[in-house]
């Protein structure tokens, strides 16, 4: 199925021609019929000679309703520019043509209407020459011109055949698995509820699918779908649809909203884009100018941030950031139009480069300009790496959601990047660019080198502190830490991180004091020196080192044991409880030949380790 959109000056016969072609009057409003002028979008359909079904979106031609026209031309495959033979090219003909050119509509045809009013063949030839002059240099430059009369039927068969031929050459719209339907009409049907209409792109919808209406965030389900008043169960990209959505109130939806699959698109307040200012724009476009922004069926106010220039002159093309006063839903490569709010006039249009840049760029930095050039001209892998570098490390799913590329292109670029070593895939599906990998490695190495210099008697930096200093979540740091350990330059032991080249080295006098302390512990293993006494003998830093590397075991703030003594005591207490069923502090004191101070500290320590449990004045095994 294909979608045709009309364009052209008011009263040049667009609606009359559509009715002659299809038998359907696209003017549905009472005011339209009373004024004999199209005000809002109209819809009709027909079957071409080849059997191809086409939808027709009929747009208003009057300058007062150009905004309604813009809501209808965003999803068309072919433009039918209507020019009345008795009036030739008029102001709205030129504006509509400029809009079609800015939107890069893929195919076009000119219907030269009302030829029944022309008796002079030379006049008709002059009008055709005038049309060709106007088309020159636009996307419709080579469009065929077909003279017709909707009143007499002359030329209608040729028009249908030409439409058939042009549409046959257009490749099918891609299905990238992310369906979206810009909503151009909302109404209710008794007994069914809310119905929205639009042209589907980028993916397939099925009856029963859960859907979301953005940017409002409404959730619903497809109750039914119709094309040309015929029910369909499945709809592919390029189809005009009327969708009955359950769970959504008609008063909560409006033209410009977008129906999507949940989780596939995100609204945005800021986009990076290219912008082409029309040659006949009334004046240069200045930085931060306020404009009306049109994309799909949406219309919002926006401010234009010019990148790299202080103004954009008529006919020039440049890079911009567009900041919206309310969120819109767009994808990379979407075409848009901007208009001057007052007096109302089309200024230009462009292409979305990045729908989620995430920040405002410094306008005149070379890095900013390089980024825009890459987005405009770069290959998919370059774009993906740049997106990755903006927020790395990042989960694969998050990168796919943030990528400005279509999903299948993103997947292909990701695999290419992994093969070429430009992207590192870590545990837990965490991704990092090669540059990001090197940067984090260098930062962690500098961090640990400084830490070792400041704390030469500590075995390493706590991993939580390292993650915090690097600004990483525990999940992302865990994946990075594991990969760095595999490389061999990072060592993790007991939650502490150190460089593999680092070793704690005691000075001679420190080592002598340690030897003396450990000798005292061996001399009185169950009544050793207290922690405070040990600190006075070797110093706090050295004592912390002995505890950290396992030379001593701390059981309380002031009680330490040799590790072998500690193990033997724990084993004896467990055996004693198994033998007697329970033990008291006094029994432990007597069995271990120690004092009450050490017995109490040891039993409370075992309670904390959940080896024993206190019952009254006794301990039992857990």
Residue 28 CB partners (closer than 8 Å, separation 6+): 42
Backbone angles phi, psi at 98, to 5 degrees: -60, -40
Name the pTM for this structure.
Answer: 0.66
Q: Could you give the CA distance from residue 38 to residue 62 in angstroms, rounded to a whole number? A: 8
Arithmetic mean of pLDDT, 36-52: 79
Q: Are 267 and 32 in contact (CB under 8 A)?
A: no
**CA distances to 36, 60, 126, 146 from 84, in Å:** 16, 15, 13, 12
Minimal CA–CA distance to 139: which of 63, 201, 76, 48?
76
> Could you say which DSSP state residue 64 is in?
G
List every span in the chain annotated with CATH 2.40.30.10: 180-260, 268-368
Whether residue 584 is preceded by a cis peptide bond, meaning omega within 30 degrees of 0, is no
- pLDDT at residue 196 greater than cutoff 90: yes
Q: Could you give the CA distance from residue 239 to residue 291 in angstroms, rounded to a whole number? A: 31
Residue 510 CB partners (closer than 8 Å, separation 6+): 538, 539, 542
Q: Could you give the CA distance from residue 259 to residue 257 in angstroms, rounded to a whole number? A: 7
- pLDDT at residue 66 greater than cutoff 80: no
- pLDDT at residue 34 greater than cutoff 60: no
Predicted local distance difference test score (pLDDT) of residue 10: 79
Record: fold of 2-168: Rossmann fold (3.40.50)
Arithmetic mean of pLDDT, 293-310: 94
Q: Could you give the CA distance from residue 149 to residue 156 in angstroms, rounded to a whole number? A: 7
Looking at domain 180-260, what is its CATH homologous superfamily? Translation factors (2.40.30.10)
Domain 268-368, CATH number (from 2.130.10.30, 3.40.50.720, 3.30.1370.30, 2.40.30.10): 2.40.30.10
Q: Are 357 and 404 in contact (CB under 8 A)?
A: no
Q: What is the pLDDT of residues 486-520, one digit of tens each?
A: 999 999 988 999 999 998 888 899 999 999 999 99
List every span in the chain annotated with CATH 1.10.10.10: 519-621
Q: What is the mean pLDDT of the chain?
A: 90
Question: Would you state the structure tokens that stand for residue 540, as one six-digit string?
Answer: 């706090």
List every span in the chain annotated with CATH 3.40.50.300: 2-168
Q: Are 344 and 63 in contact (CB under 8 A)?
A: yes
| Rg of the chain taking only CA atoms, in angstroms | 38
Predicted local distance difference test score (pLDDT) of residue 143: 94
Residue 308 gets the label, from left (phi > 0), alpha (psi -120 to 50) or beta, of left
Q: What is the CATH number of domain 519-621?
A: 1.10.10.10
Q: Could you give the CA distance from residue 532 to residue 396 in angstroms, rounded to a whole number? A: 52
DSSP helix/strand/coil, 469: helix
Q: Could you give the CA distance from residue 80 to residue 136 in angstroms, rounded to a whole number? A: 16
- pLDDT at residue 362 greater than cutoff 70: yes
pLDDT band for position 28 (cuts 50, 70, 90): low
Q: Are 274 and 317 in contact (CB under 8 A)?
A: yes
> Could you say which DSSP state residue 365 is in?
-
Predicted local distance difference test score (pLDDT) of residue 29: 53
- pLDDT at residue 32 greater than cutoff 50: no
Exposed/middle/buried for residue 203 (C-beta within 10 Å: 0-12, 13-18, 19+):
buried
Minimal CA–CA distance to 337: which of 329, 345, 328?
345
Arithmetic mean of pLDDT, 228-251: 93
Whether residue 37 is preceded by a cis peptide bond, meaning omega within 30 degrees of 0, is no
Q: Are 105 and 12 in contact (CB under 8 A)?
A: no
- pLDDT at residue 71 greater than cutoff 80: no
Q: First vs last Cα of the chain: how many Å apart?
A: 73
Within 10 A of 427 (CB to CB), how many other CB atoms are there?
Answer: 12
- pLDDT at residue 147 greater than cutoff 70: yes
Listed in sequence order, the DSSP H helices in 333-433 are 366-377, 380-390, 396-402, 407-420
Whose tokens are 């005009």? That residue is 240
> Could you say which DSSP state residue 176 is in?
-
Q: Could you give the CA distance from residue 99 to residue 105 in angstroms, rounded to a whole number? A: 9
Q: Could you give the CA distance from residue 452 to residue 466 in angstroms, rounded to a whole number? A: 13
């Amino acid at each position: 199925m294909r979608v045709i959109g009309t364009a052209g000056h008011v009263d040049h016969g667009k609606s009359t021609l559509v009715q002659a072609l299809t038998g359907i009057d696209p003017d549905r409003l009472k005011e339209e019929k009373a004024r004999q002028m199209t005000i809002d979008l109209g819809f009709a359909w027909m079957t071409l000679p080849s059997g191809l079904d086409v939808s027709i979106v009929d747009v208003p031609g009057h300058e007062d309703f150009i905004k309604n026209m813009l809501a209808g031309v965003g999803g068309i495959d072919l433009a039918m520019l209507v020019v009345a033979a008795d009036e030739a090219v008029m102001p709205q003909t030129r504006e509509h043509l400029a809009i079609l050119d800015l939107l890069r509509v893929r195919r076009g045809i000119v219907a030269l209407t009302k030829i029944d009013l022309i008796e002079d063949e030379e006049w008709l030839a002059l009008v055709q020459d005038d049309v060709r002059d106007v088309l020159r240099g636009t996307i419709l430059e080579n469009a065929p011109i077909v003279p017709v009369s909707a009143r007499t039927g002359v030329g209608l068969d040729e028009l249908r055949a030409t439409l058939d031929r042009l549409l046959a050459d257009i490749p099918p719209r891609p299905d990238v698995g992310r369906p979206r339907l810009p909503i151009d009409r909302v109404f209710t049907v008794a007994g069914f509820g809310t119905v929205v209409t639009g042209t589907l792109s980028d993916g397939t919808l099925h009856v029963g699918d859960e859907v979301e209406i953005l940017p409002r965030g409404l959730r619903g389900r497809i109750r039914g779908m119709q094309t040309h008043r015929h029910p369909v169960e499945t709809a592919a990209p390029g189809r005009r649809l009327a969708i009955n959505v359950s769970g959504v109130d008609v008063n909560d939806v409006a033209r410009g909203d977008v129906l999507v699959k949940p989780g596939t698109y995100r609204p945005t307040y800021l986009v990076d884009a290219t912008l082409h200012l029309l040659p006949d724009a009334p004046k240069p476009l200045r930085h931060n100018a306020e404009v009306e922004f049109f994309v799909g069926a949406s219309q919002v106010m926006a401010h234009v941030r010019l990148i790299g220039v202080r103004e954009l002159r008529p006919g020039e093309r440049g890079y911009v950031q567009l900041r919206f006063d309310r969120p819109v839903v767009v994808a990379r490569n979407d075409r848009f139009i901007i208009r001057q709010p007052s007096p109302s006039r089309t200024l230009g249009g462009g292409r979305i480069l990045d729908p989620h840049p995430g920040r405002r760029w410094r306008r005149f930095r070379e890095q900013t300009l390089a980024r825009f050039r890459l987005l405009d001209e770069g290959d998919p892998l370059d774009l993906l790496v740049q997106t990755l570098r903006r927020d790395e490390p990042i989960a694969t799913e998050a990168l796919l959601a943030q990528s400005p590329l279509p999903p299948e292109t993103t997947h292909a670029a990701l695999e290419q990047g992994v093969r070429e070593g430009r992207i590192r895939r870590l545990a837990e599906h965490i991704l990092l660019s090669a540059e990001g990998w090197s940067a984090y490695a260098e930062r962690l190495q500098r961090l640990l080198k400084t830490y070792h210099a400041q704390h030469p008697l500590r075995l390493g930096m706590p991993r939580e502190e390292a993650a915090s200093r690097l600004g990483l979540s525990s999940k992302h740091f865990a994946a990075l830490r594991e990969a760095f350990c595999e490389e061999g330059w990072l060592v993790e032991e007991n939650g502490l991180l150190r460089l593999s080249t680092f070793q704690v080295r005691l000075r001679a006098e420190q080592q002598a004091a340690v030897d003396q302390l450990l000798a005292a512990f061996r001399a009185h293993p169950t009544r050793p020196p207290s922690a405070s006494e040990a600190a006075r003998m070797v110093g706090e830093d050295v004592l912390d080192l002995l505890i950290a590397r396992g030379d001593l075991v701390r059981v309380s703030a002031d009680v330490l044991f040799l590790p072998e003594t500690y193990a033997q005591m724990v084993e004896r207490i467990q055996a004693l409880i198994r033998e007697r069923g329970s033990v008291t502090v006094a029994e432990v004191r007597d069995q271990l030949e120690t004092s009450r101070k050490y017995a109490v500290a040891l039993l409370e320590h075992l309670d904390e380790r959940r080896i024993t449990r206190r019952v009254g004045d006794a301990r039992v095994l857990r």
